[in-house]
Each structure stands twice: as C-alpha cells, then as structure tokens.
Structure 1
Amino acid sequence: MSEDSFDLGPRRHPRKMSLTPMIDVVFLLLIFFMLSSRFGMDAVLPVAGGSEGSGSEWQGAPRLVDIAPDGILLNGVETPEGDLARALAALMPEEGAAVILRPRDGADLQRLVGVMDHLRAEGFNNMILVE
C-alpha cells in the first residue's frame, strides 16, 4: 500500500459556527423584555384609613362621595364632576377636613383614581377610602 491510495484530497478545515442564530435569539429576548416591562412611574396615592388616630369626632356636614361608573353622587345627590369641588367646599367646616370616597359596584379603579386626582388638584388632600 502506497501513500497515494489513502489520499482523500486536500485537508478540509472544520466549519466555523455561525453567530447569526444566537444573535437572533438575543434580539428576540431583548424585544420580549422591552415589550413586557413597564416604563411608567407608579403613582402613590395617599389615602387615609378609616381608623386614623384616636377616634376623633366627625365635624361639619357629611361629605360622602359615591363614585359610580356613570356618575358621582355627593351625599346621595347626583353631582357633575366639574361641580364636585365647589359643592364640597361649601360643606367643609375647615380647610383640610376629610372627604369620604366610596366606589360603587361597577366603578373601576381608573375611575376612582381620576376622581381622586381631580379632588387633589382642587386642594382636597385628606381623603378616606371606604368600601
């Protein structure tokens, strides 16, 4: 047997691995995490609990705001959201007095937060949330 009988041609170099599939996977993971993450800031809503302090007595007229999906009731009377701050101001015994908010069946959280933001913009910062 001669050396020529075992000649298999020129020696081939091992094929280099392609990085394209790995880059594709990393790109897809990047897009997934970008779309599934939240970029907005979480808002903190300061709400007083019903049992703050040492049982202080309620002062002034009742200030119960019922938040329904289709309207707002102040002490049981339908009140437009634009007139709510003016109607509440007439009932306040002093500045900083509490306002009770009660979401009704069917009112979603966004509706409640919208009313709270409106009241806070009008200067009502002491809100108590009840069921």
Structure 2
Amino acid sequence: MMRFGTERARRRPNLTPMIDVVFLLLVFFMLASRFGAETVLPLALAGQGGAAYEGPPRLVQVSTDAVTLNGIAVPPEGLAAALQPLVQTPGDAIILRADATAPLQQVVGVMDRLTAAGFTRLVLVE
C-alpha cells in the first residue's frame, strides 16, 4: 500500500464570511424597504355618476407656475379662503384641472390643501 504523507485532521468550514454577507443583506433590505403608511386621496373622476353639479362655477386650474380659480390667479395658500364664498357646504363639488405640464406633486399639494380645509368632494377632469 502506498502512502502519500501523513493524514491531516479535517478542517471545519469557516462560516464567518457567510454570516457577514447575510447580515449585510439584512441591513440592505431593511434600509431599502418602506415602513410608512400609504396615504390615499379620495377622488371622484368626472363622469362617474354622483350628484349633479350645483351652484356657481368652482374650477381650480393647476399649472406649473400658477393656480387659478375660475381664471383668476390665486396663491395656493389662499385657495381655500377664495373658495369659501363659492360653496354652501363642504360637500359641494370642486372641479380640479391640471394642464399637461403641471407636475403631479403640485396637483396633489393643491388637493391636500383643499382636503385639509374641509372640502370633501374634489373632482378631477382632464
């Protein structure tokens, strides 16, 4: 029988690098995930039934550089105050229209302001 040298004791595999990789993956996925609650804006689209439109016109146009109410420029902070004389109840419809260049965040910001002011029926038209 041939011998090729002395038999060495078997080495146990080192698990430290694998544990490091698993820990780094865990940290990465924890930082990349979203833990916040999603917010939902209640929004009625034009033409989807509902009550008929009543009262004076309430058209809010959102563009990149201005917000207008019935064609008159209004600062976003004063929009709720400008709408007060035009509505009888907070449930009256307010028509929102964004032009093609308006960023979505600006439209959502206007909707947030109106919702915070107590207006409950926002209708988005194209």
Give TM-score, length-normalised by structure 2: 0.86
CA change 1:119–1:7 in 2 (3 A) is closer
Say how many residue pairs are matched.
126
- Larger Rg, first or second structure (1 or 2): 1
Q: CA deviation at 1:69?
A: 1.9
Distance apart, 1:80 and its partner CA:
0.8
Q: Distance in 2 between matches of 1:116 and 1:23?
A: 48
CA deviations over 1:42-76 (Å, ceiling 9, x no partner): 1011001212436x442111101011122211011
**1:129 shift after superposition:** 0.9
Contact 2:94/2:123, CA 8 A, preserved across alignment: yes
Gaps (5+ residues) in structure 1?
none
The percentage of counterpart residues that share the same residue type is: 50
Aligned AA for 2:21?
Answer: V
Give the gaps of 5 or more residues in structure 2.
none
- Aligned residue runs from structure 1 range 1-131, under 5 A: 6=3, 8-9=5-6, 11-53=7-49, 56-131=51-126
The root-mean-square deviation of aligned C-alpha atoms, in Å, is 2.2
